[in-house]
Structure 1
Amino acid sequence: MAALVLPLSAAARPRIPAPAPARTGPVTAATLEGVYAAHRANAAWASRMAQEHGDRHRARVERALAAPSRGLLSFDGRGEGRAVEVFGDLARADRVAVLVPGSDTSLDTYDRFRAGALALHRRLTAQAPATTTTAVVAWLGYDTPGTVSAAVLTTDRAEEGAARLREFLRTLHGVTGSRAAVALLCHSYGSVVCARAAERASVDDLVLLGSPGTGADSAADLHTRARVWAARGSDDWVGEVPHIRADLLVTTVGFGTDPVSPAYGARVFAAGAGGHSDYFTPGSVALANLARIVLGDTSEVSRG
Structure 2
Amino acid sequence: MTSSLGRGSGNGVRGGARRGRGGRIGRTLLAALVAAAVVVPVSAAASPRVPAPAPAVLAASASPQEHYAANLANLAAAARMAEEAGRGGRAAKLREMAAAGAEGARFLDFDGRGRGRAVEVFGDLGTADRIAVLVPGSDTTLDTYRRFRDGALSLQRRLAREHPRSAVVAWLGYDTPGTVSTTVLTADRADRAAAELGPFLSRLRGLAAAGARVSLLCHSYGSVVCARTATGSDVADMALFGSPGTGASSAAELPTRARVWAGRGSGDWIGDVPHVRLGGIGFGTDPVDPAFGARIFAAGTAGHSDYLKPGTASLDALARIVLGSEAPRA
| Separation (CA, whole Å) in 1 of partners of 2:173 and 2:142 | 11
> How is 1:209-288 mapped onto 2 (pairs within 5 angstroms)?
209-247=241-279, 252-288=280-316
- Of 108, 129, 133, 1:98 maps to 133
How many angstroms does 1:27 deviate by?
Answer: 5.0
Q: CA deviation at 1:186?
A: 0.1
Q: Supply the distance in 1 between the matched residues of 2:246 and 2:209 (Cα, whole angstroms).
A: 29
The alpha carbon displacement at 1:233 in A equals: 0.9
Which amino acid in the other structure matches residue 77 of structure 1? G
Name the residue aligned to 1:25. Answer: 59
Matched residues in 2 for 1:41 and 1:223: separation?
Answer: 37
- Superimposed CA distance per residue, residues 100-157 of structure 1 (whole angstroms, 9 cap, x where no aligned partner): 00000000000000000000000000011xxx61000000000000011110000000
**SS of equivalent residue, structure 2 residue 108:** strand
Q: Match of 1:124?
A: 159
Q: SS in structure 2 opposite 1:91?
A: coil
Gaps (5+ residues) in structure 1?
none
**Residues of 2 paired with 1:87 and 1:103: CA distance?**
22
What is the TM-score when the length of structure 2 is the normalising length?
0.84
Is the Cα contact below 8 Å between 1:166 and 1:201 reproduced in 2?
no
RMSD of aligned alpha carbons: 1.8
Instruction: Describe the SS at the equivalent of 2:167.
Output: strand
Establish whether residue 85 from structure 1 lines up as the match of residue 120 from structure 2: yes
User: Residue 90 of structure 1: SS of its match in structure 2?
Assistant: coil
Length-normalised TM-score, structure 1: 0.91
* 1:148 has 2:180 as partner: yes
Is this contact kept in 2: 1:217–1:257, CA < 8 A? yes
The range that moved more, 185-194 or 168-177, is: 168-177
How far apart are residue 65 of structure 1 and its match?
2.6
Q: Distance in 2 between matches of 1:176 and 1:182?
A: 10
The C-alpha deviation readout for 1:227-266, integer Å capped at 9, x for no partner, is 000001111111111100111xxxx110000000000000
AA aligned to 1:107 is: L
Query: Residue 277 of structure 1 aligns to a residue in which SS?
Result: coil
Tell me the CA shift for residue 199 of structure 1.
Answer: 5.1
- Indicate the SS of the match to 2:290: coil
Offset of residue 177 of structure 1: 5.3
On the 8 A contact 2:233/2:257 being kept in 1, the answer is no
Answer yes or no: is the 8 Å Cα contact 1:233–1:273 preserved in 2. yes
Identify the structure with bigger relative contact order (alpha carbons < 8 Å, sequence gap 6+): 2
Contact 1:98 1:183 in 2 (8 A): yes
What is the aligned length? Answer: 288
The question of whether the paired residues in 1 share the 8 Å contact of 2:129 and 2:209 is answered with no
Structure 1 counterpart of 2:328, which letter? Answer: S
**Correspondence for 1:289:** 317
Q: Partner residue of 2:11?
A: none
Structure 2, unpaired ranges of 5+: 1-32
Q: Please say if 1:303 is aligned against 2:329.
A: yes
Separation in structure 2 between the aligned mates of residue 54 and residue 271 of structure 1, nearest angstrom: 43
For residue 184 of structure 1, the aligned residue among 216, 226, 230 is 216
Q: Name the CA shift for 1:201/1:161 in 2 (closer, same or farther; >3 Å).
A: farther
| Per-residue deviation, residues 68-104 of structure 1 (Å, max 9, x unmatched) | 4211100000010000000000111100000000000
